[in-house]
A and B are shown apart, each in its own frame.
Chain A
Amino acid sequence: MKILVANRGEIACRVMHTLRELGIASVAVCTRPDADAPHVWLADETVDLGEHDQYLNIDTIIGAAQSSGATAIHPGYGFLAESARFARACREADITFIGPSPETMEQLGDKRAAHVIAEKVGVPTVPGARDINTLDEARSASAHIGYPLLLKAAGGGGGKGMRLVSDAAEMESAFAGARHEAQSAFGDVRLLIEKYIHPARHIEVQILGDGKRVIALGERECSLQRRYQKVIEESPSPGITQATRDALRDAAVRIATVAGYANAGTVEFLVGPDGQFYFLEVNTRLQVEHPVTEMLTGIDLVQEQIRIARGEPLSDPPTARGHAIEARLYAEDPYNGYLPQSGGVLMLEWPSHPCVRIDTGIREGDRVHPFYDPLLAKLVAWGNTRKQATRRLRAGLLASVVLGIKTNQSFLLDILDSEFFAQGETFTSTLSGRQWTEPPPPDCLDEIVAKASTRTPAMSAGAGDVHSPWQSLGRFRMSQ
Chain B
Amino acid sequence: MSWVIIERGGKRSRFAVVCTPRGVWVGWPGRGDLISGVDNHTNIAHRHDDVRAPMTGRVITVAAKGGARVAKGDLLVVLEAMKMEYRLTAPHDGIVEAVHCAEGELVDLGASLVTLTQSK
- Knowing A346-B25, A347-B25, A441-B26, say if A449 contacts B31 (CB, 8 Å): no
- Knowing A410-B30, A410-B31, say if A404 contacts B18 (CB, 8 Å): yes
CB of A22 closer than 8 Å to a CB of B: no
Q: How far is the CA of A377 from the CA of B50 in the complex (A)?
A: 35
Contacts of B28 in A (CB 8 A): 441-442
Task: Tell me whether chain B's interface is mostly helix, strand or loop, or mixed.
Answer: strand
Interface pair A451/B19, CB less than 8 Å apart = no
CB of A418 closer than 8 Å to a CB of B: no
Distance in Å: Cβ of B74 to nearest Cβ of chain A: 11
Report B9-40 CB contacts with A as 1/0, cut-off 8 Å.
00001011111111011111111111110011
Report B103-115 CB contacts with A as 1/0, cut-off 8 Å.
0001011000000
CB of B72 closer than 8 Å to a CB of A: no
List residues of B (27-78) whose CB comes within 8 Å of A's CBs: 27-36, 39-40, 42, 54-58, 60, 78
Distance in Å: Cβ of B39 to nearest Cβ of chain A: 7
Q: How far is the CA of A400 from the CA of B6 in the complex (A)?
A: 20
Most buried by A among B15, B36, B58: B15
Distance in Å: Cβ of B59 to nearest Cβ of chain A: 12
Distance in Å: Cβ of B50 to nearest Cβ of chain A: 17
Q: How far is the CA of A374 from the CA of B28 in the complex (A)?
A: 22
CB of A464 closer than 8 Å to a CB of B: yes
Contacts of A41 in B (CB 8 A): none
Q: Which of B29, B35, B87 touches A398 (beta carbons < 8 Å)?
A: B29
User: Interface size bucket, A side?
Assistant: 35 or more
Chain A residue at minimum C-beta to C-beta distance from B106: A470
Interface pair A373/B16, CB less than 8 Å apart = no
CB of B102 closer than 8 Å to a CB of A: no
CB of A184 closer than 8 Å to a CB of B: yes
The total number of A-B Cβ pairs within 8 Å is: 160
Q: How far is the CA of A447 from the CA of B60 in the complex (A)?
A: 44
Contacts of A372 in B (CB 8 A): 82
Interface pair A453/B32, CB less than 8 Å apart = no
Distance in Å: Cβ of A180 to nearest Cβ of chain B: 7
Between-chain CB contacts (< 8 Å), 5 pairs: A370-B56, A403-B25, A449-B24, A464-B21, A470-B56
Contacts of A177 in B (CB 8 A): 85, 87
Number of interface residues of B (CB under 8 A): 48
Report A118-152 CB contacts with B as 1/0, cut-off 8 Å.
00000000000000000000000000000000000
Interface pair B1/A444, CB less than 8 Å apart = no
- Knowing A336-B42, A370-B82, A449-B35, say if A401 contacts B27 (CB, 8 Å): yes
Interface pair B6/A448, CB less than 8 Å apart = yes
List residues of A (395-430) whose CB comes within 8 Å of B's CBs: 397-404, 406-407, 409-410, 413
Q: Which residues of A contact B (CB under 8 A)?
A: 160, 177, 180-181, 184-185, 227, 333, 336-337, 339-342, 346-347, 349, 364, 370-374, 397-404, 406-407, 409-410, 413, 439, 441-445, 447-449, 451-453, 455-459, 461, 464-470
Q: How far is the CA of A467 from the CA of B19 in the complex (A)?
A: 14
Q: How far is the CA of A453 from the CA of B26 in the complex (A)?
A: 11
Q: How far is the CA of A467 from the CA of B44 in the complex (A)?
A: 13
Interface pair B83/A184, CB less than 8 Å apart = yes
Chain A residue at minimum C-beta to C-beta distance from B6: A444
Contacts of A468 in B (CB 8 A): 56, 108
Contacts of B42 in A (CB 8 A): 336
Chain A residue at minimum C-beta to C-beta distance from B29: A398
Q: How far is the CA of A340 from the CA of B80 in the complex (A)?
A: 10
Interface pair A339/B19, CB less than 8 Å apart = no
Distance in Å: Cβ of B3 to nearest Cβ of chain A: 9
Interface pair A374/B35, CB less than 8 Å apart = no
Interface pair B83/A185, CB less than 8 Å apart = yes
Interface pair A342/B29, CB less than 8 Å apart = no
Interface pair B30/A398, CB less than 8 Å apart = yes
Interface pair B1/A409, CB less than 8 Å apart = no
Q: Which of B26, B30, B57 touches A452 (beta carbons < 8 Å)?
A: B26
Interface pair A448/B18, CB less than 8 Å apart = no
Interface pair A469/B17, CB less than 8 Å apart = no
Contacts of B108 in A (CB 8 A): 467-468, 470
Interface pair B39/A346, CB less than 8 Å apart = no
Contacts of B57 in A (CB 8 A): 340, 370
Contacts of A452 in B (CB 8 A): 2, 4, 17, 19, 24, 26
Q: Which of A181, A185, A339, A448 touches B55 (beta carbons < 8 Å)?
A: A339
Chain A residue at minimum C-beta to C-beta distance from B33: A441
| 7 tightest A-B CB contacts, nearest first | A452-B17, A403-B25, A410-B31, A347-B1, A451-B4, A370-B81, A346-B18
Distance in Å: Cβ of B12 to nearest Cβ of chain A: 11
Q: How far is the CA of A452 from the CA of B18 in the complex (A)?
A: 8
CB of B8 closer than 8 Å to a CB of A: yes
Contacts of B36 in A (CB 8 A): 449
Q: How far is the CA of A336 from the CA of B33 in the complex (A)?
A: 14
Interface pair A453/B21, CB less than 8 Å apart = no
- Knowing A180-B85, A370-B81, A402-B32, say if A346 contacts B20 (CB, 8 Å): yes
Q: How far is the CA of A373 from the CA of B15 in the complex (A)?
A: 29
Interface pair A456/B2, CB less than 8 Å apart = yes
Chain B residue at minimum C-beta to C-beta distance from A443: B8
Distance in Å: Cβ of A162 to nearest Cβ of chain B: 11
Chain B residue at minimum C-beta to C-beta distance from A372: B82
Contacts of B22 in A (CB 8 A): 466-467
